[in-house]
Structure 1
Amino acid sequence: MSTPSDQISPPSEPMVSSNDRNLAMLTHLSGLLFYFIVPLIVWLVHKDRTDKAYMVGEAKEALNFQLTITLAAFVCCILQIVLIGFLLMPVLWIVNAVFCILAAVKVSSDGHYRYPFTLRLVS
C-alpha cells in the first residue's frame, strides 16, 4: 500500500507571465512578414535566461518553422525554371500564414504549439 508521500505528482508547469505569452504570440505572428528574423532575435536575446524558458521554446519552434519555410521558398524559386515553382509559391505562402495564425492563437490561449512538417534545425 502506498502512502501519499510515496506518490510522485507530475511536475507542474511554472506560471508564464502574460508579457511572455504575448511576446511568444507576436514571435509566431512575425513570421508572416519577417520570416525568421524576429524569432531569431527573440531566441538569441533570451536563450541563456532560465526564467524565460517558455518564450525561448516558442521562439525556437517559430524559428525552426520559418527556416523550413525559407528553405521551401528557395526550392520553389529553383523550381520556377520548370514552371511548377510558380504554383507552389502561393501555396507555401498560404501554409505559412495558416500555421502562424494557428500557433499564435494556441500560444495566446493556453500553451505550447508544435508546428507539423518542420525541420528541427535549432535545438
Structure 2
Amino acid sequence: MGKPMSSQEERLWSVFAHLSHLVNFILPFIPFVNVIAPLALWLWRKNDSDFFNDQGKEALNFQITVSIVIFILQLLTFLTTGSFGLNMFRNDDVYFYNYNYAYGFYGFMSVWVVLLSIVKLLNLILTIIAAVQAHNGVRYRYPLNLRLVK
C-alpha cells in the first residue's frame, strides 16, 4: 500500500484507469489487454484512495462487459457466417453457383462488422467521457455496465 493520494492525484489516476484500455491499440496481439491494464492499475492503487478504488472498479467492470459483448458478437459472427461459408463452398453444383449463399454470407458478415464497430466506438466514446468526468472529480457510472468486481 502506497501513501494516500491527494485529490489531484486520485483524479489523475482515475483518468489513467479509464483510459488504460487504449493500450489495446498499441498491443492488439495480447488477448484481453483492455481488461488487464485497468486491472493492474486498480490492484496497484486501490487502497490509496476511495475515489480511485471506485473509478478503477468502474473502468475494470466496463472493460469486462465490453469484452463479453465482443466475444458474443465474434461467436455469433463465426456461427452465422461459418454456416453460410460451408454451404457456399460445397462441391455440389447447386450450392456452388447459388449466389443467395454468397449474399447471405456477406450480408451477415456486414451486420456483425457494423455491430462490432459500434461496440468499439461506444467503448472509446464512453471511456473518454468517463475520463473527463473523473478529471473533474465526478464519480462516473457507465451505462449498461455489469458490476462484477465489487
Decide: shared fold, TM above 0.5: yes
User: Is the CA contact (8 Å cut-off) linking 2:11 and 2:137 kept in structure 1?
Assistant: no
Question: Offset at 1:68?
Answer: 0.2
CA distance in 1, matches of 2:112, 2:62: 20
CA distance in 1, matches of 2:6, 2:147: 24
Do residues 23 (structure 1) and 13 (structure 2) align?
yes
Aligned partner (choices 115, 118, 141) of residue 91 of structure 1: 118
Alignment of 1:1-123 (within 5 A): 17-34=7-24, 35-47=34-46, 49=47, 51-81=48-78, 82=80, 83=109, 84-123=111-150
CA distance in 1, matches of 2:116, 2:22: 14
Report the 3-state secondary structure (helix = DSSP H, G, I; strand = E; otherwise coil) of the residue aligned with 1:118. Answer: coil
Aligned residues: 107
Higher helix share: 2
Q: TM-score, normalization: structure 1?
A: 0.79
User: Is the CA contact (8 Å cut-off) linking 2:17 and 2:42 kept in structure 1?
Assistant: no
Q: What's the C-alpha RMSD, in Å, of the aligned pairs?
A: 1.7
Runs of 4+ in 1 over 4 A off after TM superposition: none
Question: Offset at 1:110?
Answer: 3.0
Gaps of 5+ in 2: 25-33, 81-108
User: Is the CA contact (8 Å cut-off) linking 2:65 and 2:145 kept in structure 1?
Assistant: yes
Structure 1 counterpart of 2:18, one-letter code: H
User: Is the CA contact (8 Å cut-off) linking 2:23 and 2:37 kept in structure 1?
Assistant: no
CA distance in 1, matches of 2:124, 2:73: 17
Question: Offset at 1:16?
Answer: 5.0
Question: Offset at 1:115?
Answer: 0.4
Gaps of 5+ in 1: 1-14
CA distance in 2, matches of 1:91, 1:79: 16
CA distance in 1, matches of 2:127, 2:70: 16
